[in-house]
Structure formats: C-alpha cells, structure tokens
Chain A
C-alpha cells in the first residue's frame, strides 16, 4: 500500500541562537546574548505515524541586560538538547485547513553556564540545569506556495529537574534529578518551519524555534531562547 511506504529525512540546521535567562543560582540579574546553534534531525514516517529524533546545541556569550556599573561580568552559555517523539496524523485533512497531528515528545536538556564574576579578582563558577520531560505535542502542516509550512508546540506535563544549589564542580550533586510538578516547572517549545521544496531529494528549510521555561524552586530560573536556522534536508526512500 502506498500509505505504508517508509519515508525518512535527515536535516542539518545552523543559524543564530539567542538566549535570555535569569538563574538565581548564579545571579539576580537577567543575562542575554546571541550566539550560534546547530541541530540534527531525523524523521521517519510510515502511514499516519511519524517518529522523530533530534540533537540540538546552542552556545552564546551572554551579558547582563541592565548592568548599572562595574561591567565585566559575563557568562559562557551552552544549551544541549536531545529530543525524541512520535505523533499520529489525525483524519480529515484538507488543502485549506491543512493536516493536524498529535503525539508525545521526550526531551532531555542540559544547560551549562560558566559565569565570570568581576569581583576582587575575576573568578569563574560553573552552574547547570538539566531537565528530563514528557510533553503532549501538536503539529499542524499546510501547503503554502510551493512549500510546506509546519507549526508545532510541545508543553511538558511531567518533568524531572536537576538544578544544583551551587557551583557544580563543588556541589557534588551533578546528577540529582527530582520529580518537579507542572506547578513548579513550566515550559513551551514552539517551532515554525518552512520547507521550500517538499517533493525533492534535497531541499532547504527555514525554521524559527522558541523555547520558554520557568522553574520555581528555591533558586528560580526563567529562560527564553529562540533560534532562526537554515537547514539542508536530505530525503531517503520514495519521495512524497
């Protein structure tokens, strides 16, 4: 059956990555900066079922957003994410309304911050935040011009968080994941993507990705990151 044909795609994306964060473990100040991100995606589709897997890395040097004086503090920031998920396309697609899919997404994310303090001397400390989460995920796809526009959103409901109290080199609790209810850990991971030529073996795509996160613990964290990546897509197997 044509619908049972296995289709796969590998996507390599690069582009600017913007990070905005405030982590009370290392500073009361908000830090922001723009760096560079890379991402590798693998997608596997058979019938109305889709599996996907991704590796994502973004690094940036961030600086205080509103630093009154004594500039010099900055952070080397890195965010590394592993994602995997599956979804099912809902029946009733139409050219006008597009296609909807619902599924579940697992995400493992690690952010590492090397914070430089301009104190008596310039000192460096390292902080991390690691999360494991499960999220219901929705995806909408629609033909737009010659290409395909896709929007997706994942909202974690179950999460385990490791947020060491102090410099991780000394806190001796680098891996100490604790279940964190949705009342304390909230996140939204949204993607807007355009595939310029969905019926060819090689194509280009453009993706805007946004991730907002809030952790309410004794040292709260607020993050907002966004990236605009340009991707080369390689399709394997029969073309759609």
Chain B
C-alpha cells in the first residue's frame, strides 16, 4: 500500500510538472524579450507617445544579448524604457527601484509666510489659515490609507472658511480612490469627472470603451464654498485626476502652472528572474475626450513663480490664489 501511494505521489508530481511546464529561461535575451513583449502587449500609451516600439527592440536587443551581467542588462532595459518618457514606468531590477522618468519638486513659500499653520499630519495633509479667513490645505500625496481621514480633519477645522486654497504643487500622485474620495468632500451629487480606457488586447490600439470615473458625495464634512487649486509641473497623476474632478464639480479655480501630464495608472508585472516593473495599462481622458498625457492640465489663472520672487520669499502663485479668493462674489 505504501509503495502504491509513493508511486501515485511521484506520478502526480511528474504530471504536475508536465502540465505546468518549467519556468521560462532567464538568459539576458529571454528576460529582455519578456519585458519587450509585456510592454508591447499591455502598455497603453503607445497611441499617445508615437514611439516606434519595434525600432527600439532592434536597437536594444543586441545590447541585451551582449550584457555581461544583470547590472548591464538592467541598464539596457532601463535605457529602452526611458525612451517612453513616462513617469509611471517604475522598474525594480537588481538594484533599488526608481521611477525612470521623474518629476522635479518645485519651490513654494507657504507656511509661516502666507499661512498660519494649524495642523500637520504624517499622511500628507497640512493646513492653516491665510489672511481674510481663507482656509489653506496642502496635500503632498494621494498615497496611503490616512490621507482622506486627514483631509476630513482639516476640513472640519476649516469649516467656517470663506474659501479654501488647496496646494497640489508638490503632489506626486497616488491612489485613484484617494483622489476621487477626496473630491467627494466637495461634491453635492454623483458626478462624472473623467473617462478612462483600459488596454484589452495585443494590438496597441486595443482598448475598452470609455468608462466613466465618478465622484460621489462622501465624508463627514462637505465643503460647498469656493475652492482654489494650486498646481505645478509637479502635480502628478492622481493629483491631476483630483484637478479634473474638482473642475467637473464646479466652484473651483485652478491657479499656477500646467500639471505634469501623466494620464495613466500603473499596473505591475513581474519577470521570471524576480524583477518587476509597473507601467500604465490605461489612459485617462478629460470630459471633453482629450488625453493630457505629456501635455498636462493648464490652469485657469496661469501664474509662474520666478526664482527672484522665491528668493525674496514671495510666492506669486499663492498670492494670486489669495487675491482671487478675497474678491467679493
């Protein structure tokens, strides 16, 4: 009986291997081909980037074939992916992972000069008051589970403000749900704020139909007054969705610089050697049906901060938002 059981066990293991098969090769060329194919079959933004993906393969594949070690291969892969100029492409190879194409923080002058700081939280929200009973909230990310509760606390403290300025100038994005839930604190009814399409086939033009992104009224505190958003070239991804949402809700004016223009949500993939990477498999669109990838969302009131102003502790963008918020309605 024991012998029969052992034979059955061995047979089951052999059958399992035969069905599932061995893992793919981990040679440099096999790894390179897997990355190239993954992007070819899933990356959403070829239709926007107008990059000749086949041509990049022709250039970089011979380099991968001659890569002497994993560091060299990682550099070849990263070099190829850099041609996409996409801040949503994150690569975790043999060394520390980094976004391949990042944004640069912008200098601002807020707390202590224009704003009296009232509260600051670890999750990315800080708030206070400017002159004239205008509330001010800085949201530096849309990552994390604490962000929306922190926003609720800030809104509760700023409840009686005549208007609220929300500073997104150094917001590096995060979770779509956080952005739409945050916008829900300013929403009176269910509102379609943007559209999204997902890649759903092997051709670069294979996409789902337009799917609505909606904002629902949510949260313990709703703010129905005027809102002024401060944006910059470092207002990224989910923060751009928040801008789209707030614009669609009305009673919002965007002040500052054009946003980063990163219109896709990253999804993860993994390689057979344990490396992984993230890249967009979707494209976001404005209510007008336009994508803002590589373009950004322009402000309603364009204002630049010059270096000379910043050195003099002047934040022209914030000053403009305060001025607009102070005007009698």
Give A residues with C-beta under 8 Å from B. Answer: 20-22, 27-30, 32, 65-71, 73, 117-120, 123, 125, 164-167, 170-173, 208, 210, 212-214, 218, 222-224, 226
Contact = CB atoms under 8 A, between A and B. Distances in A.
9 contacts: A27-B269, A117-B276, A119-B270, A119-B277, A119-B278, A120-B90, A120-B92, A166-B198, A226-B12
B12 A67 contact: no
B54 to A, nearest CB: 18
Contact of B200 (A28, A32, A68, A165): A165
B20 interface: yes
B24 A28 contact: yes
A30 B282 CA distance: 26
B272 A173 contact: no
Judged by DSSP, the binding face of B is mixed
Interface string B175-200: 00000000000000000000000111
B12 A29 contact: no
Nearest to B31: A28
Given A22-B21, A68-B26, A119-B97, A29 B16 contact: no
Contacts, number: 114
A224 B272 CA distance: 20
A118 B268 CA distance: 8
B34 interface: yes
Interface string B230-272: 0000000000000000000000000000000000000111111
A165 B199 contact: yes
Nearest to B265: A170
B208 interface: yes
A68 B272 CA distance: 8
Interface of B: 8, 12, 15-16, 19-24, 26, 34, 41-42, 90, 92, 97, 99, 198-202, 206, 208-209, 211, 267-278, 281-282
B267 A68 contact: no
Contact of B199 (A27, A67, A166): A166
Contacts of A173: 200, 208
Nearest to A65: B23
A-B residue pairs, 9 tightest by C-beta: A117-B268, A69-B274, A224-B19, A70-B274, A120-B90, A119-B268, A119-B276, A224-B16, A68-B274
A210 B15 contact: yes
A209 B202 CA distance: 36
A171 B12 contact: no
Nearest to A172: B208
Contacts of B41: 218
B270 A29 contact: yes
B281 A166 contact: yes
Contacts of B42: 166
Residue among B201, B274, B278 having the largest count of chain A Cβ atoms under 10 Å: B274
Given A73-B270, A125-B268, A165 B201 contact: yes
Given A28-B24, A70-B275, A119-B276, A170 B282 contact: yes
A28 B23 contact: yes
Given A123-B278, A212-B19, A226-B12, 17 more contacts: A30-B20, A32-B16, A71-B274, A118-B276, A119-B92, A119-B97, A119-B276, A120-B92, A120-B278, A165-B200, A167-B267, A170-B208, A171-B198, A171-B200, A172-B211, A214-B19, A226-B16
A209 B22 CA distance: 23
Contacts of B16: 20, 32, 224, 226
B312 to A, nearest CB: 38
B141 to A, nearest CB: 12
Nearest to B11: A210
A73 B273 CA distance: 12
B276 A29 contact: no
B267 A22 contact: no
Nearest to A122: B268
Contacts of A167: 267, 281
A72 to B, nearest CB: 9
B294 to A, nearest CB: 21
B19 A223 contact: yes
B276 A222 contact: no
Nearest to B271: A28
Contacts of A65: 20, 23
A223 B277 contact: no
B214 to A, nearest CB: 15
A223 to B, nearest CB: 7
Contacts of A123: 267-268, 278
A68 B22 CA distance: 14
Contacts of A214: 19
A12 B145 CA distance: 41
A67 B282 CA distance: 28
Contacts of A213: 19
Contacts of A27: 269-270
A29 B90 CA distance: 20
